[in-house]
Amino acid sequence: MKKNKSVKQFLSDNWIALIPYVMLLIIIVVMGVLNSNTLNSNYLANKCDASLSLILVAIGQTFVLITGGFDLSVGGIICIVNCLMATRMTDSVGSMILWSVIGILIGILIGCFNGFVIERTGLQPFIVTLATQSVCMGTALLILKVDGGNVPITYMKAMLTRFGAIPISLIILIALLLIWIYFKKTKICMNIYAVGSNKKAANLNGVNVLKTTVVAYAISGGFAALSGLVRTAVVASGSPTAGGDFVMTSISAAVIGGTALTGGVGGIVGTIVGAFVLRYISDLLVFMEVSSYWSSLVQGIILILAVALSAYGTVRRKRKGGLS
C-alpha cells in the first residue's frame, strides 16, 4: 500500500518532467509500426550520429538557460568552426587535432566574452548574443564565401567510427552522462543553478555571479564548437550558414527536455531526450508522407506546449515553496 502511494506521489510530483520521455517512446513505437526498419541497430546508430550535433549545442545552451539567459551566438560559432575545419584542416592527425583545439578555444572565448559583457554591462542576453552571432556569421563568410571546402576522409571516419554496431556518438553520449553525474555535484554547477533561481540571493550567499555567468556561457560556446566539429564530419563540407538552424532548435530541445526559460531548473538528460524528440518528429513526418513544411510547424507547437508546461511547473514549485 505504501509502495503504491509512493509511486502515485512520484508521478504527481514529476509528471511534467516525464512528458518528454513518454513522448519520445510514443514516437519511436509509432515509427516502428510504420516502418520496422527504424527499430534496427543500423537505423538507431545513424540516428545517434545525425542527432549528436544538435545534442551537443543544446547541452551547452542548457547551462545558459539554467542561469536565466540564452545564447543566440551558438549558430555563429558552429559556422566559424565548420568553415575553419573545411578550409584549413589537412589529412594529417596533427592538423586535425590542432584545428579541433583551435575551434573549441574559439567557442570558449566567444562564450567568455558573452558572459562577461552580459554580467558587467547588465545588457540583455538577447542583445549581446545576437550581436555576437552577427559577427560570427560575418567572420564565417570571410573564411568561406560559398558552401564547399575539403574535409579529409580520415577525419570523417574518425568522427563517425563504429565499434561493431555501436557508433562513437553513442559512446560520447554515455560519457557525457557520466560526466554530468559528477559535474552536477560540483560547486560551480550548484552556483549556476543558484544564479538562475535567484541572482540576488546567490550574490548575498557568496556566489561569484560574474564568474558563474562567464563559465555558463563558456560551456555553451565550447559545446557549440564541438557541435561544429561533428557537423563538419556529418555533412562532409563547410558552409557559412551551417549553424543557422541550431539556434532555435537548441533552445527547443532544452525546453522540451524540461529546462525552464525562467532559470534555475533543467539538466542535460532531459535535453538529450528533447533533441531526440525533435529529430524523430522530422523522421516521423517523412514516414507519414507529410510535407517537410509541416516539420517546423509541429516543432513550434511542441515548443509552445513545452513552454506552457514549464511556466505551469514554475508556478507549481513556487506554490509548494510558499512563494506565491
Q: Which residue has the cell 545588457?
A: 123
For helices 93-121 and 74-88, give the axis angle rounded to 10 degrees. Answer: 160
What are the tens digits of pLDDT across the range 125-158? Answer: 999 999 999 999 999 999 998 888 888 899 998 8
More confident residue, 106 or 152: 106
Q: The CATH number of 42-319 is which of 1.10.10, 3.30.530, 1.20.120, 1.10.3470?
A: 1.10.3470
44-58, 68-82, 264-278, 296-310: least confidently modelled range: 296-310
Average pLDDT, rounded, for the chain:
87
Signed CA dihedral, 275, 281, 286, 290: sign only: negative
What confidence score (pLDDT) does residue 196 get? 92
Backbone angles phi, psi at 251, to 5 degrees: -65, -40
Q: 21 pLDDT exceeds 90?
A: no
Quick one: cell of 284?
516521423
Cα radius of gyration (the chain): 20
pLDDT reported for residue 265 = 86
* Half-sphere exposure of residue 159: CA atoms within 13 angstroms, side-chain side: 26
pLDDT reading at 275 higher than 80: yes
Domains of the chain, residue spans? 42-319
- The model's confidence at residue 323, banded by pLDDT at 50, 70 and 90, is very low
For 157-165, what is the mean pLDDT?
86
- Whose cell is 532548435? That residue is 249
Instruction: State pLDDT tens for residues 188-236.
Output: 999 999 999 899 999 999 999 999 999 999 999 999 999 999 999 998 8
Report the pLDDT value the prediction gives residue 245, as an integer from 0 to 100.
Answer: 85
Q: How many CB atoms lie under 10 A from the CB of residue 3? A: 7
Of 11-25, 31-45, 101-115, 252-266, which range is least confident? 11-25
pTM reported for the whole predicted model: 0.91
Percent pLDDT > 70 in the chain is: 90
Residue 203 cell numbers, joined = 550574490
pLDDT number for residue 192: 95
The model's confidence at residue 161, banded by pLDDT at 50, 70 and 90, is confident
Inform me whether the pLDDT recorded for 57 exceeds 90. Answer: yes
For residue 10, the model assigns a pLDDT of 57
